[in-house]
Amino acid sequence: MSANGGKKSLQDVLRERRGSTRLLSPVEASQRAVARRREAAEAAAQDALARWRDGRSPDGRVKLDPDVYRRLFALSSGAYYGSGHWSRRVRAQLAFAAACEVEACRSAEGVEAHHLSHDALGAEHPGRDLITLCEGCRRRARKLGQDLARVPAREELLALDPAAPLYDSSSIAALKQKYGS
């Protein structure tokens, strides 16, 4: 401190600033906020999983953040599918399309809502992120995805042929050869 009535000189102020703890940059503050949100989502997902394992609803019948649902799905897809959120999404999808959406099928028996992809987990919209399929078309959709080595687009699923066999004769012969039947 200077001797001029308790006022600090510019050099004294700068010296104190160099010695003090550094303030966060905007990038560091943003990174810390993202980390806090990720940790909070992880903790909430762990709590939801524990509730599900205790036989209760994972989301406790309240809407959780989409990040929590995504983390819950990563921890246990069964817990996610047992949540009230998924039940609401299924009801909304079945209200949107009550029959199989495959154009050549349109079966109303044994239909279920299915994800087109898991990109929108926790924030699915009927008709955009979900599709209604019967059991046979669901198996054909899974086979198509394996053949394409990617998630099939909605248009590809709508164009499925429900009368086509799941496996061609050469695939069946190869399976019989492999497993000895």
Other Cβ atoms within 10 Å of 81 Cβ, number: 15
Predicted confidence (pLDDT) per residue in 112-129, tens digit: 999 998 899 999 999 999
Domain ranges of the chain: 41-82, 95-167
Predicted pLDDT of residue 173: 86
If phi > 0 it is left, if psi is from -120 to 50 it is alpha, else beta; for residue 97 that is beta
Average pLDDT score over residue span 139-162: 92
Predicted pLDDT of residue 4: 60
pTM over 0.85: no
pLDDT at position 1 over 50: no
Amino acid at position 107, single letter: S
